[in-house]
Structure 1
Amino acid sequence: MSRLGVNIDHVATVREARKTNEPDPVWAATLAELGGADGITLHLREDRRHIQDRDVRIMIETVAVPTNLELATAEDVLAIACELRPSQATLVPERREEVTTEGGLDVVGQQDKVAAAVGRLQDAGIVVSLFLDPDPQQIEAGLATGAQAIELHTGAYAHASAKGPASDQFAELERAAKQIRDAGILLNAGHGLTYRNVRPVAQIEGMYELNIGHSIIARAIMVGLEQAVRDMKRLVSQ
């Protein structure tokens, strides 16, 4: 049975649209817990477009479930992660012009830098995951960094599934999942997963955790966050 990590970034997106103090993503994390979330995911971007330093600090101190902090390999966010020590840190790529994270981390092109960030976070007692495309070379390079988990970027599968069958993209995920399982580290996945396309990914052998945000927050506007999390948890758990 796969675990469900609920990404609460877009609660902060609404708050930052008016630069007020509501809605509070910390409150959202509590509601997600009540709905059955197994973990809370949040992304501290370099430009602080949604989650703020204050959010990370309070959430790590208050939520009862594990926290997964997404971050780039930039010095300032690495320093914050090492100070606050979330349960897990997931290294992701960042581009200022993107709306949301697009594509997996390029470990092949910066293996030494990524490995140094992995080591630094692990020295602080943090489990480290890498957000990677289902590309054999990237996964092999990621394994060489010593990371304890790899989160597969499911964007290509999600985009294809919105238009029809996504058998080719799903087959890539399955091949990548086997490569990660064979290496003996944790297998996670996320990006673009919805109530309509999540079940096949949740059923991939060895899938440990799915990190889902936008679809849950979008449904929460209609039914409330606790119910939206319960609905997704039911699909992931079946």
Structure 2
Amino acid sequence: MARIHRQNFTDLLSRAIAPGVVVWGAIVGFGLLITGPLTGLSKSEETVNKTLASDRTPTWNQITMLWSHVGNTEYVIAVCILVAIIIFWRTKDLLFSLVPVIAISLQATIFVLATLVVGRPRPQVSHLDPAPPTSSYPSGHVGASTALYLTFALMATRIERTWLRVTTMVVCLALPLLVTFARLYRGMHHVTDVSVGMANGIICAVLAYSWWKATRKDEVGSRVKDAAFSRS
């Protein structure tokens, strides 16, 4: 059992954390480009933010406020912990229940460390949300909501009831898109900010889920070997 736990941790380092370092490097590299040699891209992106800002209405201001809150750190953490507990209660699979925790932790680490290097200012329009201390690039709200809800969508593929599986996946895939639109509409991010944030979330979700699938195969293989050894 101890050998399996050590292998799981080693797999986490090689299958999630190490690739995460590469992802961080790519995000930082692109961020330095758009805040340096490609600063003209920022000016062209402002057109999108200004167009959305000019079309704001009180109704859509309220709707997008709710959508934006989906990506708030406190809500992401609360939903993640609650769902992880429910999944463990239903499956008794600790590693499976930790998948969303790993996904959002990896995403958050990459996001925070990237913002420390790339200090991109927010779009030059009125901001409808309080600006977090982190910079505009990449979007933490979009990254966090994507990592969390895409992970849920991947985990939902194991649900046996078709209607429940499809409904869960559709809702989970839609939520990050709503957050993305809200952050653009509310003047908090450029298009590239939310695009890179979503890419960060997607990669982290896939890495975390792939890690669990690998550990599952390793455990099954280990049980088979142990059973074969005990019969010999």
TM-score under structure 1 length normalisation? 0.32
Larger radius of gyration: 2
- The structure with higher relative contact order (CA 8 Å, sep 6+) is 2
Would you tell me which structure has more helix in proportion to its own residues?
2
Would you tell me which structure has more strand in proportion to its own residues?
1
TM-score under structure 2 length normalisation? 0.32
